[in-house]
Amino acid sequence: QSVLTQPPSASGTPGQRVTISCSGSSSNIGNNAVNWYQHLPGTAPKLLIYSNDQRPSGVPDRFSGSKSGTSASLAISGLQSEDEADYYCAAWADSLNGQVFGGGTKLTVL
Amino acid sequence: QLQLQESGPGLVKPSETLSLTCTVSGGSMSRSDYYWGWIRQPPGKGLEWIGSIFFGGSVYYTPSLKSRVTISVDTSKAQFSLRLSSLTAADTAVYYCATEMTSTNAFHTWGQGTLVSVSS
């Protein structure tokens, strides 16, 4: 069971906006930056959002992140078929003195 | 642009020790803005952070693996390594090396990953 809680699945149709939540506690999300990764099967994970809401160079602005208190969210607007992947949140956990990942959310584009 | 490449055995026997190496190209390892980290993904499961090391040698590990893990760095060879002892089938996973931004703990650049199976 992961320290950070994500819904196991999410879905949407092309063009829709979907959000994926990530719930933690005061010792992880509440006190540290949240990062999001996109993982397509058979490939290396890709950093999608860092420091809660920052996009690395090359990541489309369809992807956005936010954080409030001990929860964070990833939003994908204008959903495309190539967005079908697993998405993971991660944060530093003060109580563990280490990083923790969420369990991952499998996004299906219908 | 940094590139990372994992190398090591694809099959290891239970109770033995796994040794993996990550070779870094395209830039220096002696930089203060990155840690060098290891992450794994067991089949059908999520990502798990194993540990990270700074070029100067300071290192930190996930508590659940701390007793079995050693991460080291050799900047002269542009490599950092993972050793995981007392292997069981539960250690079967794809192992990734990655750069970790010291400011945000985000894993920015990843290797392609290497599948390690633990089986007799």
Give the pLDDT confidence of A34-66 residue by residue, as tens digits.
Answer: 999 999 988 999 999 999 999 999 999 999 999
Touching check for A2 and chain B: CB below 8 Å? yes
Which residues of chain B lie closer than 8 angstroms to A33, CB-CB?
104-106
Complete DSSP assignment for B36-91: EEEEEE-TTS--EEEEEE-TTS-EEE-TTTTTTEEEEEEGGGTEEEEEE-S--GGG
Mean pLDDT across B38-64: 95
Cβ-nearest to A56 among B46, B108, B110: B108
> B104: which chain A residues are within 8 Å (Cβ-Cβ)?
33, 35, 50-51
Instruction: Give chain A's residues under pLDDT 50.
Output: none
What's the count of helices (H) and strands (E) in chain A, helices before strands?
Answer: 0, 9
Angle at A33 between CA A30 and CA A36, to 5 degrees: 115
Interchain proximity A96–B62, CB inside 8 Å: yes
Question: Does pLDDT of B93 surpass 90?
Answer: yes
What average pLDDT does range B49-66 have in this prediction?
A: 94
Contacts of A102 in chain B (CB under 8 A): 46
In chain B, the percentage of residues whose pLDDT exceeds 90 is 94
pLDDT, mean of residues B98-114: 96
**Per-residue confidence (pLDDT) for residue B43, from 0 to 100:** 95
